[in-house]
Amino acid sequence: MGYLYYPGCALKRTAIDYDESFQAVAHLLGIEIKELKDWICCGATVAKSVSKELAESLPLRALTSADQEQMDLLTLCPSCHLNHRQMAKRLQEEVAFMDRTSLKGVPKVKQLLEVLAVDLGAEKIKERIVRSLDGIRIVPYYGCLVARPFPLGDTDSMEHPRSMESLIEATGAQPVFFPYRTDCCGGGIFLSKERVAIKLSATILKEAKKCSPDCLVVACPLCHFMLDAKQRVIERELGEKIGLPVLYITQLLGVAMGIDHKKLGLHRLITSPRNVMQKINFRSR
């Protein structure tokens, strides 16, 4: 099982703990990854407002590399996934556009949850669990882009996805039903409309806290930034303490697989995961 790994800007900067924990988990799960050399920003939604040609050329670069390597393109950032997946869809549907490129075929573009829950599957992950997380209550939060507009594995529900829940259950933990799990956290508008973004994330954290979870789990760098790094700002906005650790799904899996906490980047979290780690009786090996 091999993939050409496109990290994108966030995974090498603000979300380096996502990159670290993914690579550690991938190694133990036997997921072969080849990081794309000399990768550049895919442009996300920003490039479209600058130049149509730029918006096309940036994702095309990674897709061309995946075609040459004859590998599926793997992304962890939902914005990167959306940008590359939309470009792949256009290449498949517009013959004239495809003919203007050097591609021989259109590579598949996959998001991490799809690889873990569909390509690999929860049963395979269970085989690598060395520390059951039985008794741990976890709120799964997908955000607005992880499961939409392209359903995970092209089969999961966009409104009621189950991929993350299946992975949580594989660790022995209990996924808590969360009605807000696919609502937007506001990360995409944080720079332009900070107050609106903070209020959106405040609603998510406040409602999540009502579920009495031990932690919240995400698969998106922007969601993690809003719910973890901005949690103290949100607490001041709400006038109450939240204190809810926010882990990447790869960090949660890594804990259950007994991976060292530094390899998982747990020390990089802004909201301390100490309480949930003590409850798990976490001792990295």
Dist. CA 181–CA 80, nearest whole Å = 20
What domains are there in the chain, each with its CATH number? 2-112 (1.20.1050.140), 122-280 (3.40.50.11810)
187 Cβ contact list (under 8 Å, min separation 6): 143, 197, 201, 220, 222, 223, 225, 226
On the question of pLDDT at 285 being above 50, the answer is no
Q: Which pLDDT value is given to residue 55?
A: 81
On the question of pLDDT at 273 being above 80, the answer is yes
- Percentage of the chain lying above the pLDDT 70 cut: 97
Dist. CA 128–CA 151, nearest whole Å = 26
Q: 40-49, 155-164, 186-195: which range is least confident on average?
A: 40-49
Q: Reduced to 3 states, what is the DSSP secondary structure of residue 29?
A: helix
Taking the model in full, what pTM does it have?
0.94
On the question of pLDDT at 34 being above 90, the answer is yes
Q: Which pLDDT value is given to residue 282?
A: 64
On the question of pLDDT at 182 being above 70, the answer is yes
Q: Which pLDDT value is given to residue 43?
A: 86
Residue 1: which pLDDT band, with cuts at 50, 70 and 90?
low
Q: Which pLDDT value is given to residue 284?
A: 43
Q: What is the mean pLDDT of residues 255-259?
A: 96
Dist. CA 259–CA 254, nearest whole Å = 5
Q: 37-41, 174-178, 206-210, 233-237: which range is least confident on average?
A: 37-41
Q: Are the beta carbons of 245 and 271 closer than 8 angstroms?
A: yes
In whole numbers, what is the pLDDT of the chain averaged over residues?
93
Token pair in block for residue 18: 């996502």
For the segment 79-130, what is each residue's pLDDT rounded down to a tens digit?
A: 999 999 999 999 999 999 999 999 999 999 999 999 999 999 999 999 999 9
266 Cβ contact list (under 8 Å, min separation 6): 17, 247, 251, 255, 273, 277
